[in-house]
Amino acid sequence: MQVPIYMDYNATTPVDPRVLESMLPYFCEEFGNPASRTYAFGWRAEEAVERARKQIAQLINAGPKDIVFTSGATESNNLALKGVAEMYRDQGTHIITQVTEHKAVLDVVKWLERHGFEVTYLPVDSDGLVDPDDVRQALRETTILISIMAANNEIGTLQPIEEIGRIAKEQGVFFHCDAAQALGKVPVDVEAWGADLVSLSAHKIYGPKGVGALYLRLPDSRVALDPLIHGGGHEFGLRSGTLNVPGIVGFGKACEVAASEMAEEAERLRALRDRLEGGICSHIEEVTRNGHPERRLPGTSNLSFAYVEGESLMMGLSGIALSSGSACTSAGHETSHVLTALGLSDELIKASLRFGIGRFNTEQEVDYVIERVRETVERLRALSPIFDGSRALSNVPSTQ
């Protein structure tokens, strides 16, 4: 076992060697531009892109022409939300989303609010689930779009997407889903979901960074988008720019691998996650699991450790790559809006850890992390007068 140990697969994943192997020819040997259709270099590049389009589409039960390539899920979210908003502004200006969405959705709808749109932010329960009845009740005559993510990136909670999709379809409202965390980990079926638009990312499923896709039923769908990027008419006129052929090839291969191995891998990751949680909770008291106990991603665990100072906890776990309840963003450190929405106190949020277990983690690594967490929490609590005082109070006989 080598240290440091990577256990933050929700943030990004290493490229699978099989994915890398598929990409390598398209850097130097097959370097053509797929838009150059007058000679073999371009033809072979175009063939590679279309093969990847099929591989991605098969994983989500879509058609190849439904896949629009982007630079990642953030761009896909922007294209979906801004594209629908601008195209259908004359029909309505109301959008529904939830408070625990990724910033790539929340920041977009906040931008739309500044440009004349109204947004309803639905609450979630203590497990992070949005109530479909809340979605139904939030609908207005001016509602044009519902955007609810499939799987939460911090706590792993899986939303009732199919039910929300049915509500959207009944009301004739477009339904967008950010599936960046769900893809390749749990089944994604755009037909069963009733989704009009779905955002996807390669680097969450052992593909390269800087490439993603937006599912959009292009040939016969009623949804149309106002493009964000103009110039050249690439990707059905929705996303101009020379395609990242090596990245797209890698994305396709990553989806092909996921399609064949996802069920078995999910079981292995679920077992490792349960081993991690069981080992930590059996040795450490005052641990809270955040998110739904069952409706969640197989490799995600978010735990809060009472009476521990968050920054000290992260420093004590150097050598293990994890995320904390204070998410590091380009603007600095900010408290997790997801854990806040679940009702956790600031102290618990700051003492929270997200464990993202992935394809290349082992039982030995999980056991090592359990022991390191136990040692660190016990050491910090031994130094904490708050923890000692709390235990003393808990032993005072009740006066009732």
Rounded to the nearest 10°, the torsion over CA 369, 372, 376, 378 is: 100
Which of 177, 255, 281, 328 is catalytic? The answer is 328
Strand order in the sheet with 300-305: 287-290, 300-305, 352-356, 323-324
Contacts of 140 (CB under 8 A, 6+ apart): 92, 94
Q: How far apart are the first and last CA of the chain?
A: 54
Give yes or no: residues 243 and 301 share one domain: no
Last residue of a domain, one of 207, 234, 258: 258
Contacts of 176 (CB under 8 A, 6+ apart): 77, 80, 81, 84, 145, 146, 147, 148, 195, 196, 197, 198, 199
How many alpha carbons fall within 13 Å on the CB side of residue 375?
Answer: 10
Contacts of 149 (CB under 8 A, 6+ apart): 98, 100, 101, 102, 105, 159, 177, 178, 179, 181
Give yes or no: residues 202 and 170 share one domain: yes
Domain residues for the domain of 305 are: 5-10+262-390
Give yes or no: residues 108 and 246 share one domain: yes
> Is residue 328 annotated as part of the catalytic site, yes or no?
yes
CB atoms near residue 142 (< 10 Å): 12
CB atoms near residue 243 (< 10 Å): 20
**Pair of tokens at residue 159:** 């939303």
Q: What is the 3-state secondary structure (H, E, C) of 1-14?
A: CCCCEECECCCCCC
- Is 178 within 8 Å of 77 (Cβ atoms)? yes
**pLDDT digit of tens for each residue in the chain (400 aa)?**
888 999 999 999 999 999 999 999 999 999 999 999 999 999 999 999 999 999 999 999 999 999 999 999 999 999 999 999 999 999 999 999 999 999 999 999 999 999 999 999 999 999 999 999 999 999 999 999 999 999 999 999 999 999 999 999 999 999 999 999 999 999 999 999 999 999 999 999 999 999 999 999 865 566 889 989 999 889 988 999 999 999 999 999 999 999 999 999 999 999 999 999 999 999 999 999 999 999 999 999 999 999 998 889 999 999 999 998 765 444 556 889 999 999 999 999 999 999 999 999 999 999 999 999 999 999 999 987 777 655 644 544 443 3
Tell if the pTM clears 0.75, that is, is over it.
yes
Integer CA distances (angstroms), 37 to 45, 47, 52, 65, 153, in order? 10, 11, 18, 18, 40
Last residue of a domain, one of 258, 277, 297: 258
Give yes or no: residues 245 and 303 share one domain: no
Q: What CATH number has the domain bearing residue 339?
A: 3.90.1150.10
Last residue of a domain, one of 241, 258, 275: 258
CA distance 228 to 17: 34
CA distance 135 to 123: 10
